Structure 1
Amino acid sequence: MGLRRPSAARRPPLPGTDPGEAAAGAARIGNRALALWIVLLTVLIVLLDAFTGNDLPLIPLTVVLPALASVFCTVRQTTAVAVWVTLVVVASRIASTGPFWDVVFLIGFTALASALGVVACAARIRHAVEMARLRSAVVALQRQILRPLPVTTRQVCAHGLYEPMEEDRFVGGDIYEVVESPHGTRVIIGDVQGKGLPAIGAGFAALGAFREAAVREPELTAVADAVEAAVVRHNAFSAETGETERFVTALLLGFDGSDRVQAVNCGHLPPRLLHDGAASVVALHRTSVPLGMADLSSEPRAVEWLSFPPGSALMVFTDGVTEARDATGVFYPFDERLGEWVGRGPDQVLHALQADLQSFSGGVRRDDVAVLVLCRPPGGEEAALPHGSTATGGRGE
């Protein structure tokens, strides 16, 4: 059997071509399938036109074909369909006995409609390519704002789930980061007040400060103070430009490889400890004000120590999980559901949580969702939650 030349829809993109742009401009139907359908529809219309005669001419219906092609095909394919339809109309009308100006009008109308189909196809593809470029830029920006998961350091393996409230966005108001430093692994998860691009700006300011301070500062409270200062500076700039000032609830954790974890809580939700087949709430007794609001409190931020026994895992999350609701307004039973998944691997827990949240809320998102499962990586292999389950190594996003 001879080699078959691939159609435009299946040809690999040229070197240096963005895959998103290539996909946006690709045809949704192959050349052979298109030719077959166009010929069949043309034959059907011509036969019906011959059957009805001059009383009900149906040949003008062929102008629909370029319009349909403009939705699913490339510019080249649409142009071919337009030329084909024009030739069919010209050939059918030349042999007719109708009035001369009626024939000229029909041919002119067909040519104009076919040309408009080609123009519409070109505009569709141009718009699709522009959206593909924008989407690629957003993906690149997301990778600078939020690190792809999972992340493994010497002290911890972080698996995660991230879902912005708006499906067409890659980044929302929730933030997270995992940084390996000379002082151990530092982790932050936070929720910026508000939604939209201004919230993303505040989150980016907090993340940038955390990444730098996590490596520089030996004390976790100093890391929190550095992030606090960054949020305050961002709010000062926002006030000058007329934007709303924002605060960030956050939980900072420090892992040093021992059976205890440092925590600085800035108005965030307490984590869950997954250990011995049970999920329990980790009580935080030294909670301070959110980042950006330190001036409202006279007490400095303080560290407290959390238990992190071997074989356990810590789950940290934002309120997009606990405040999810069903159609009747009932809150999501997070702790009850989490207890059913403790024996699974990190990614399996995250996948189960994602599917269950989707089912419980009916697909309606009222807030961003960010979840991290933090395990101890044994022997360079990915950590497993209790009962010896192993992780799948996938990425939850």
Structure 2
Amino acid sequence: MRDDGDRRALSTPLLAAGIVGVTVAVVALDVFAATDVRLPPLLIFLPAIVAALGTVRQTAAASAWVVLVVAGTLAYLGESLDDNLLATGFTAVFGVMAVLGCRYRVRREEEVRRLRSAAAALQRQIVRPLPLRTGDVVVDGLYQPVEEDAMVGGDMYEVADSPYGTRVLIADVQGKGLPAIGTALAVLGAFREAAYREETLTGVVDAMESAVARQNAFATRTGDHERMVTALVLDIGQALGVEAVNCGHIAPYVIHDGDAYQAELDEPDVPLGLAGLAAGPRRGTRFSFPEGATLLLCTDGVTEARDRGGAFYPLEERLRGWALAPPPADLAETLDADLRHFTGAAPRDDVAILTVSRASSRGARGGVIC
């Protein structure tokens, strides 16, 4: 096992240089100022600073260093033995407290990290690995839950090779943490069953709405918050048109013939869980998906990403630039790398990106859906 929080610890050489620099400055000021006030005891706060930022070993080393410096400097300056012992004793006690405090901090951080990793691992198990292939399409992309956030979110996707065509789902649950993952499981379970049972795409979405309603009713009884789910469900067959039901999600992008544009869908319906607020039942919309085209679906971890100046990521502009030449085979990975470069940091929200192309336009790949 790695030492207590080494992943986030300060560089030891950099930390040592800082401690020595501060020590030299304080001791030199005390020696050359020739005042009655002794300054070396002020170094007692150095271990506390290290405890907040470094490892237990670094804190213990800083504490031992400060004790030696205080004792040696006061002896060199000719302080009485009692004063020297008193100052050194207090310095040692504060050093021990700093080490104990650092140990507690590191254990807490490790516990939180393990919980985040476990939740992220659970979240990864909800969805199947990409690529996925049906008789109609190949679905590729990437899915990255954020482990460094306070809690992971509820992004999800699924592909079903139903008797009525290929049904594709991408969705995002409101909120974060295990309750959001629970709602995601309910939505996925409803989709996986209804996609094969329901002849109409709106019937599939109605089944998902019922699942969210039941989940929210249970949450209310247990004192949790109700949640809504934005979702985009597609029905893709051999015909060049695609049916879509958009429940408050990001509309798909079509990349074809040197251009990229967002599919023209009707006004989005309300998210799942809010059907009671809708003016009427949900309806499907058709848009063109020509041979050789690629659809790109994503969650708001892409569209709501910002750079350091607060500007949103220009997704459509980037897609148009990539469409001028043959789009990269690894479009999702290219997009993810560009997104990280744009923000200058790792994503702060879960990111799900799906690319959908017709099976006839690409070679056979793994991940066959039964």
If the length of structure 1 is used for normalisation, what is the TM-score? 0.67
Name the amino acid aligned to 1:340: G
**Residues 293-320 of structure 1, C-alpha deviation per residue, up to 9 Å, x if partnerless?**
5567797666665432222011334577
Q: Which amino acid aligns with 2:263?
A: V
Q: Could you tell me which residue of structure 2 aligns to residue 354 of structure 1?
A: 339
Taking the TM superposition and a 5 Å limit, the aligned residue runs for 1:109-148 are 109-145=90-126
Q: Select the residue among 344, 351, 363 that pairs with 1:379.
A: 363
1:341 partnered with 2:326: no
Counterpart check, 1:156 vs 2:138:
yes
* Aligned residue number for residue 170 of structure 2: 189
Letter in 2 for 1:178: E
Q: Distance in 2 between matches of 1:223 and 1:304?
A: 14
SS for the counterpart of 2:322 is: coil
Deviations 1:232-258 (A, max 9, x none): 211322343455545434221234566
SS in 2 for 1:168: coil
**Equivalent in the alignment of 1:252:** 233
- Secondary structure of the residue aligned to 2:79 is coil
Q: Structure 2 vs 1, CA of residues 170 and 152 (structure 1 numbering), >3 Å: closer, same or farther? A: farther
Q: CA deviation at 1:230?
A: 0.6
Backbone CA RMSD of aligned residues? 4.7
Amino acid at match of 2:355: V
> Are residue 28 (structure 1) and residue 13 (structure 2) matched?
no
SS at match of 2:260: strand
TM-score by length of 2: 0.71
* Aligned equivalent of 1:60, options 21, 41, 47: 41
Code of the residue aligned with 1:28 in structure 2: it is L
Moved more, 306-315 or 236-245: 236-245
Q: Which runs of 5+ in 2 are unaligned?
A: none
Query: Within 5 A, what are the aligned runs for 1:1-397?
Result: 13=1, 23-24=5-6, 28-30=10-12, 49-52=30-33, 55-93=36-74, 97-145=78-126, 150-154=130-134, 155-160=137-142, 168-169=149-150, 171-172=152-153, 175-181=155-161, 183=163, 185-192=166-173, 195-196=175-176, 201-214=182-195, 220-241=201-222, 245-256=226-237, 259-266=240-247, 268=249, 270-284=251-265, 290-292=271-273, 306-317=287-298, 335=316, 338-343=319-324, 344-345=327-328, 346-347=331-332, 350-351=335-336, 354=339, 358=343, 371-376=353-358, 378-380=362-364
In structure 2, what is the Cα distance between the partners aligned to 1:328 and 1:91?
50
1:46 and 1:95 map into 2 onto residues whose CA distance is 11
Q: Distance in 2 between matches of 1:287 and 1:113?
A: 61
The DSSP-based 3-state class of the residue aligned with 2:292 is: coil
Distance 2:287 2:111 in 1: 49
Q: 1:334 to 1:68 in 2, by over 3 A?
A: closer
Q: Name the SS for the 1:380 alignment partner.
A: coil
* Distance apart, 1:133 and its partner CA: 1.6
What is the alpha-carbon distance in structure 2 between the residues aligned to residue 381 and residue 125 of structure 1? 45
* Counterpart-to-counterpart distance in 1, 2:217 and 2:336: 40
CA deviations 1:174-195 (Å, max 9, x no partner) are x331234454543112355x54
The answer (yes or no) to whether the contact 1:70–1:78 under 8 Å persists in 2 is yes
Change (3 A) 1:134 1:191: closer
Cα distance between partner residues in 2 of 1:303 and 1:249: 15
| 2:121 match: secondary structure | helix
Mapped partners of 2:8, 2:311: distance in 1? 45
Question: CA 1:328–1:126 in 2, change beyond 3 Å: closer, same or farther?
Answer: closer
* Pair 1:101–1:231, CA change in 2 (3 A): same
Number of residues of Structure 1 aligned to a counterpart in Structure 2 = 355
Note closer, same or farther for the CA distance 1:228–1:357 as it changes in structure 2 (3 Å cut).
farther
Amino acid at match of 2:131: V
State the alpha-carbon separation in 2 of the partners of residues 353 and 318 from structure 1: 16
Asked if structure 1 preserves the Cα contact closer than 8 Å seen for 2:56 and 2:102, the reply is yes
Secondary structure in 2 matching 1:311:
coil
Give yes or no for contact 2:151–2:176 (8 Å, CA) kept in 1.
no
State whether residues 332 and 353 of structure 2, in contact with CA within 8 Å, keep that contact through their aligned partners in structure 1. no
